[in-house]
């Protein structure tokens, strides 16, 4: 748009210059080039500096004033110890504001959603008046692909309706034995790490990711992980869990497309791994599609269809009825290329390892269930009140996702704020989860019991955004909750978690085995991110360098 404005200004200025008959034709090219550069500089100066400070209708909203002229607040975000630490500080500074304004790259305005009413308006009332911004498509889309996450309008409604079946309660009930069978192998990893020792330590994020990958392969792809190429797990890990430099490159690429221009090894590894992973998934999809059309793909009686088979069957049915395939190959890849719940369970083990009274209460409830019913059913698992509260509190304090940005597709008024078309809207789940106006002065404390005494604003569905709310709520919410609960039942019933190991520090909450060796975090600090260094930039709360848990056999 700026280029078009500059071209128009240049044409007008150049036309006026032709009025002078003494103008040499040999100077036309240099003059028009100079006029264009001059116009472009003026337009950019207006866009980047003058407009957001003196003319924008949003300039009176509360927000930080220490914006860098070129980078806005983006560098301050990267410098913070918490991937959403800066936004949390703004929310606490202006707790009553529906929106908080800040400047991003090149003076672009962005609004942070900061109240329940504003969340409801963006996620429900005006949900289809907002679209995913281009930078988020580059940041997340290059990993997840397209699919439901980036579908808009009627296309989103249609895809969501088609996905309702595989994520329904009856389908989840059918697939529960797959969860239970898969997590049994998780305990084998703990057994191998322990051996004959009284206690041992294990890096839980990698261990849980492998177990979650087993579940993904079975429930999403319908394939045993052990039967797939040995490269699949490695490729998935390299794409989703990049090095700090790789994460930084992804963050920069979101604003400035540099992915194919940077000759660094971290960038090359990501490109190659992402390409190979997508090709592997495409091969699986094409083979399944061929098997379904040829009638060579079969399932056992009563077995629940995996997500890929369901999508392909629905896609074929729609193609026969309308002559049009509702999902492209890239759409389908986007639906199956997602990380599972390993990150959430990792933080659950962090809590259990550092708050032993919570671990004891949870184990008592789980043991009573197992002693009474043996292998629990879907109803048994969802009937455990303390486990349900514990999982919700884990997802509240340690959000599985940190942000879901939007962009206004038209001028709109929300909570008395006139939002111009094209304005970036940031939904940060931790802001609503740690908002003291909603959850009280102890909003950042981990307390499963708070779910038994909800009152006022925290009874609103929009106070809990772990899976978002409204039409864009994650369709796999129930699926993910059951998966997390099954993992915890397996682990808590067999192992006692003693603490989190880390190097250095002299905090009184730490017990050092020997000078210079790892220290054991035995009492977890209350604020998120204190005691454990968080990865930044990141799309989830993720401990930098992993999470080493010490455990023993019950």
Q: 459: Cβ–Cβ under 8 A, 6 or more apart, which residues? A: none
Tokens describing residue 473: 């709520």
Residue 111's DSSP bridge partners are 101, 425
Tokens describing residue 474: 């994650």
Q: How many domains would you assign to the chain?
A: 2
Position 363 scores a pLDDT of 97
- Beta-carbon count within 10 A of 519 CB: 21
Q: Is residue 99 part of a domain?
A: no
Residue 497's DSSP bridge partners are 551
Of the residues 55, 76, 94, the one at which a domain ends? 55
Q: Is residue 122 part of a domain?
A: no
Position 278 scores a pLDDT of 79
Q: Is residue 77 part of a domain?
A: no
Angle, to 10 degrees, between the axis of helix 169-194 and the axis of helix 204-216? 140
The CA distance from 399 to 541, in Å, is: 7
Residue 400 CB-half CA count within 13 A: 26
Position 506 scores a pLDDT of 40
The CA distance from 387 to 365, in Å, is: 8
Q: Are residues 47 and 157 in the same domain?
A: no
Residue 407's DSSP bridge partners are 131, 424
Per DSSP, 94 falls in state S
Q: Give the domain range for residue 9.
A: 1-55
Q: Are residues 352 and 478 in the same domain?
A: yes
Q: Is residue 393 part of a domain?
A: yes
- Beta-carbon count within 10 A of 511 CB: 12
Position 365 scores a pLDDT of 97
Cα separations in angstroms, 174 against 26, 86, 225, 377, 448: 79, 43, 20, 10, 29
Q: Is residue 306 part of a domain?
A: yes
Domain containing residue 527: CATH number:
1.10.630.10
Q: Are residues 49 and 180 in the same domain?
A: no
Q: Are residues 47 and 174 in the same domain?
A: no
Q: Are residues 40 and 161 in the same domain?
A: no
Q: Is residue 85 part of a domain?
A: no
Position 515 scores a pLDDT of 42
Q: Is residue 166 part of a domain?
A: yes
Q: Are residues 50 and 153 in the same domain?
A: no
Question: Residue 324: phi, psi to the nearest 5?
Answer: -130, 135
Residue 68's DSSP bridge partners are 72
Tokens describing residue 119: 């969340």
The CA distance from 49 to 313, in Å, is: 53
Q: Report which of 421, 333, 287 is spatially closest to residue 144, judged by C-alpha positions.
A: 333
Cα separations in angstroms, 113 against 1, 46, 96, 410, 470: 27, 26, 11, 17, 15
- Beta-carbon count within 10 A of 302 CB: 6
Q: Report which of 211, 251, 316 is spatially closest to residue 535, judged by C-alpha positions.
A: 251
Q: Are residues 23 and 153 in the same domain?
A: no
Confirm if 510 and 522 have CB atoms less than 8 A apart: yes
Q: Are residues 215 and 348 in the same domain?
A: yes
Q: 536: Cβ–Cβ under 8 A, 6 or more apart, which residues? A: 77, 78, 80, 81, 82, 83, 544
Q: What is the mean pLDDT of each run of 10 residues along the chain (554 residues)?
A: 52 51 55 71 84 92 93 91 93 97 92 96 93 72 54 61 72 82 85 93 86 76 68 72 75 75 83 81 82 76 65 75 64 55 89 94 96 89 96 93 90 96 94 96 94 95 92 84 93 94 51 52 54 78 86 93
Given its phi and psi angles, is residue 224 left (phi above 0), alpha (psi -120 to 50 degrees) or beta?
A: beta
Confirm if 209 and 232 have CB atoms less than 8 A apart: no
Position 12 scores a pLDDT of 53
Q: Report which of 406, 433, 402, 434 is spatially closest to residue 422, judged by C-alpha positions.
A: 406
Cα of first residue to Cα of last residue in the chain, in angstroms, is 65
Q: Is residue 127 part of a domain?
A: no
């Amino acid at each position: 748009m700026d280029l078009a404005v500059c071209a128009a200004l240049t044409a007008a200025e150049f036309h006026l210059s032709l009025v002078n008959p003494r103008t040499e034709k040999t100077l036309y090219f240099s003059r028009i080039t100079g006029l264009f550069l001059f116009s472009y500089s003026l337009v950019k100066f207006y866009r980047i500096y003058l407009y957001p400070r003196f003319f924008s209708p949003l300039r009176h909203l509360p927000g930080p004033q220490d914006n860098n002229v070129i980078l806005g607040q983006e560098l301050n975000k990267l410098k913070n110890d918490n991937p959403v630490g800066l936004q949390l500080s703004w929310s606490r500074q202006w707790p009553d504001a529906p929106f908080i304004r800040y400047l991003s790259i090149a003076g672009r305005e962005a609004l942070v959603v900061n109240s329940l009413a504003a969340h409801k308006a963006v996620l429900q009332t005006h949900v289809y008046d907002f679209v995913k911004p281009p930078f988020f498509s580059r940041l997340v889309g290059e990993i997840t692909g397209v699919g439901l996450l980036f579908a808009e309008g009627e296309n989103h409604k249609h895809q969501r309706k088609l996905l309702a079946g595989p994520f329904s309660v009856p389908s989840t009930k059918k697939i529960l034995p797959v969860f239970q069978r898969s997590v049994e192998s998780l305990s084998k990893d703990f057994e191998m790490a322990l051996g004959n020792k009284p206690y041992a330590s294990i890096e839980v994020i990698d261990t849980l990711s492998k177990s979650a990958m087993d579940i993904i392969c079975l429930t999403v792809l319908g394939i045993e992980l052990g039967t797939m190429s040995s490269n699949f797990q490695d490729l998935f890990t390299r794409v989703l869990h990049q090095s700090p430099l790789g994460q930084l490159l992804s963050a920069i690429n979101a604003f400035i497309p540099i992915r194919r221009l940077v000759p660094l090894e971290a960038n090359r590894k990501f490109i190659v791994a992402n390409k190979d992973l997508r090709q592997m998934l495409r091969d699986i999809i094409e083979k399944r599609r061929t098997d379904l059309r040829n009638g060579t793909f079969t399932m056992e009686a009563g077995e629940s269809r995996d997500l890929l088979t369901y999508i392909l069957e629905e896609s074929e049915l729609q193609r026969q009825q309308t002559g049009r395939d509702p999902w492209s190959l890239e759409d389908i890849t986007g639906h199956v290329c997602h990380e599972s719940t390993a990150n959430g369970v990792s933080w659950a083990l962090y809590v259990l390892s550092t708050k032993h009274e919570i671990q004891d209460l949870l184990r008592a409830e789980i043991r009573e269930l197992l002693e009474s019913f043996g292998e629990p059913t879907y109803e048994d698992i969802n009937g455990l009140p303390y486990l349900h509260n514990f999982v919700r509190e884990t997802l509240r304090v340690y959000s599985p996702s940190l942000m879901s940005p939007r962009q206004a597709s038209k001028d709109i008024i929300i909570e008395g704020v006139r939002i111009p078309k094209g304005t970036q809207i940031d939904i940060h789940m931790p802001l609503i989860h740690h908002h003291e106006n909603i959850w009280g002065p102890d909003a950042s404390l981990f307390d499963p019991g708070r779910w038994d005494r909800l009152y006022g604003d925290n009874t609103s569905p929009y106070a809990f955004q772990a899976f978002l709310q409204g039409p864009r709520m994650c369709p796999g919410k129930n699926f993910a909750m059951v998966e997390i609960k099954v993992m915890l039942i397996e682990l808590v019933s067999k192992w006692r978690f003693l603490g989190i190991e880390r190097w250095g520090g002299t905090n009184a909450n730490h017990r050092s085995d020997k000078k210079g060796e790892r220290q054991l975090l035995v009492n977890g600090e209350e604020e998120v991110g204190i005691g454990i260094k968080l990865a930044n930039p990141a799309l989830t709360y993720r401990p930098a360098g992993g999470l080493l848990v010490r455990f023993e056999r019950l």
